[in-house]
Amino acid sequence: MCVLLSCNLFSSILPTGEICVIPRGIVFRVEVEEQVRGYMLESFQGHFCLPDLGPIGSNGLANARDFEYPTASFEEMQGDVKMYNKFCGKLYKKHIRRSPFDVVAWHGNYLPFKYNLKNFCTMNTVSYDHPDPSIFTVLSCPSEIVGESAVDFVIFPTRWMVAEHTFRPPYFHRNYMSEFMGMVAGKYDAKVGFSAGGASLHCCMSAHGPDKETTERAEGFSRALSWRCFLDFSFDDLILHFAAAELGPAKFEDGLAFMFETSAILKPTPQAMACSFRDMQYKECWKGFARRSLHR
């Protein structure tokens, strides 16, 4: 499946697995030949940029060389055209007698760009422990607070998992950021039944993690495993004892999931809350967990 994306600077085909970033003020049109599903994020502050790689160095994650910028194209057409504009949370419509895509050239670098997620250079641990999902950040939109993102775009692509003495699926947690998850294709490695086109929302400080089936499969039953859980609080360290399968290198290539992670509080619309396909039993995926023993 793909869509044809046109704007007042260029036209481009956007197939499954690619993203496009459209700056504010750019007029655009989306054309489809068949039914498609997709995800859209609108940021109200800042601009998307590559994340700071820090000690990773100059290369890795989303490399600048893999982003595609358009060449100029234009459209000559006379006739009734409806344009929709969003302002202060409301949509407005106006009629014009020509195509808005009649710009034949431009000067500057304020323009849309696209990126194929297959080009993402994944980083992961080669020793132990589960890295924070920020290691999979494609683009980040900084906020006015240093060190805090307005929103990060994170993906969970094909990757090798080789960590030893580690619970490999995303661990149970709650955090400052709100997390909107989506599934582009395939299946998610931490949630059974999370299908392409689906979405989940875990708001700020809402505890969540992998479902019972994924957790038990990751733990296994072949040998005992213990590790130290480091907390951000001045509590004594906890040693958690689990039964775990023998861990060898494993390649995950069954799906492509993504996450919009934001410091904003996301409020679902009435349409989302009332939709007929909303999963009303979502929380049941964490039902039936056996209590683990904790030792000081």
Hey, which residues are catalytic here? 130
The CA radius of gyration of the chain, in Å to the nearest whole number, is 22
Token pair for residue 85? Answer: 């504009």
Residue with tokens 């679902």: 268
In this structure, which amino acid lies at residue 239? I
Q: What does the angle CA 123 – CA 45 – CA 278 come to, to the nearest 5 degrees?
A: 70
Q: Strands (DSSP E) along the chain, which ranges?
A: 2-7, 11-15, 18-21, 28-31, 78-87, 90-98, 113-116, 137-142, 149-156, 159-161, 178-186, 199-202, 223-229, 238-244, 250-252, 255-262, 294-295
Token pair for residue 248? Answer: 């060898």
Token pair for residue 55? Answer: 């000690």
List the strands of the sheet with 11-15, edge to edge: 11-15, 2-7, 28-31
DSSP code of 157? -
CA atoms of 36 and 13, how far apart (whole Å): 14
Contacts of 27 (CB under 8 A, 6+ apart): 7, 8, 83, 100, 101
